[in-house]
Structure 1
Amino acid sequence: MIRNLLFQNRAEAGKALGRALVDMKLADPVVLALPRGGVPVGYEVAKALGAPLDVILVRKIGAPGHKEYGIGAVVDGSAMQTVINEAAARMVGADRAYIEREVARELGVIERRREAYRSGPPVPVKGRTVVVIDDGIATGSTAMVALQALAKAGPSRIILAVPVAPRDSLNSLRGLCDDVVCLLMPEPFHAVGAHYRDFGQTSDDEVIRLLEDARLDIEDHADRMG
C-alpha cells in the first residue's frame, strides 16, 4: 500500500501498479486497459510485465440530462454485455426506450474507437491471465461490465488492477474476478481525480501512440529472444 495519497500522473500510477503485479509472477499475462484514461496506466503495467497491451472498449450509459452520472455501462464484442443499475435508472427517469437508444449510441462510439485504435485483430485472451486496468474506480459499473464480458472469452485467470478505488466498490467486483490489486482505498472516497496531481484528459492520439509503442515493445522483445 502506498502512503502518499497523490500520484503525479497516470504513468507514475502505472509504474507503481506494475511493481505490485510483477511480484505476483503471473503466467502468460495480457493487459487490457479501459480507454482512455486506463491506457497510460496499462502501458506502464504492460512494460513491467513484458505483456501485450490492448483495450477493452466499454462505454458508460449516462442519466438523462446528466451524462456524467452513470446508470450502467455497455461493452461490445462477441458477447455484448449491458449492465444497468435499475434503481438508479428509475430514480433519474431513464425508461427502457431511453436506455435502448443510449446503448445503440454508445456502441456506435465503441465502433469508431475500435477502428481508430486497432490496426489488427484484438489480442487473444483465451487461456491467458488477463489483467484489467483503469486509472481508478468510482462506482464500478464500467469495470463490472468489462469483467462480465471477459469471463465469456475463456481466460484462465482475471485480475482487476487499479491505482485507487473505494473499498465498497472493489468488494462488489471481487466475485467477478480471481484477484483484485488496488494501491489506494481512501476513506472517505470522493473522486478518482482527487488522487492525481495531473488528471488531464487522455486524448485518442495518446491512446493510439501508446498501443503502437506497446506493440513495438513486444516485437522487440520477441526479436531479442529469437
Structure 2
Amino acid sequence: MAQPEPLTAAQRLGVVRTALSRAAGLAGRAPDEIELIAISKMHTADAIRPLLEAGQRSFGENRVQEAEAKWPALKSEFSDVRLHLVGQLQSNKAAQAVALFDAIHGVDRPSLVKALAEAMAAGGRRPDCYIQVNIGEEPQKGGCAIDDLPGLLDVARAAGLPIVGLMAVPPAGVEAAPYFALLGELARRHGLSGLSMGMSGDYETAAMLGATCVRVGTALFGERA
C-alpha cells in the first residue's frame, strides 16, 4: 500500500490552528486570545520559510546564536515576524537577546533580571518577559522554584522589566493539566495575565486552561529525520 503524502507546511499549520480554535471554543475563549509560536530551533531558514509563506508570524528559538544566524535575513523578508526566546538565557547574552527578540520566556533568576534591565536601558528595546517557573520541581530543569516566585517578581518589577506572565514546562510523561492549572493560579495570584504553556503534545489542553501562547514545534515542522 502506498504511503500517504506528507502534509505540507500550510496543511500542518491549518491542522494546528483548527485544533487550537476548537480547544479555545470549548473553553469559551476566542482563538485570537492564544498566540501560536512555531518552535523553529534546529530548523534551517529553508525549513522555516514555508511556514512564513503560509502566514505564520510568531516563532521561537532556544539559543541566541542560532537565532542570530537565521533570523536577521528572514526578518528582512518578513518584517512583521514576532520572535520569542524560549530557552535558557545566559546573563552575558542578555544584550544580544534584547536586540533580537520580541519576547523572552526564560527569566528565572535575579542576576538575569539585572542583566536584562541593563540591556534594555542601553538598547532602547523592551521585549515582553515571562518568569519561568519550575512547575514540577525538577532539578534538571530551569525556572525559579514556586516558593521563590514572589521574591523574583518583586525584583523584576523593581528593575522595571516588562513582566507579562509566567512560563512553564510540565514534567514529561505525566498528565499536564494539573501543572497548567497551577501555573494559571500562580499567575492570577500575582496579577499576571500571560501564560506561556503547552507544546505539540498538549497545546489543546493548555488552550483550554488559559494559555495565552503555546509553543509548538513537531506538529508544525514534522518529525525530524
Q: TM-score, normalised by structure 2?
A: 0.33
Greater strand share, structure number: 1
Larger relative CO (CA 8 A, sep 6+): 1 or 2?
1
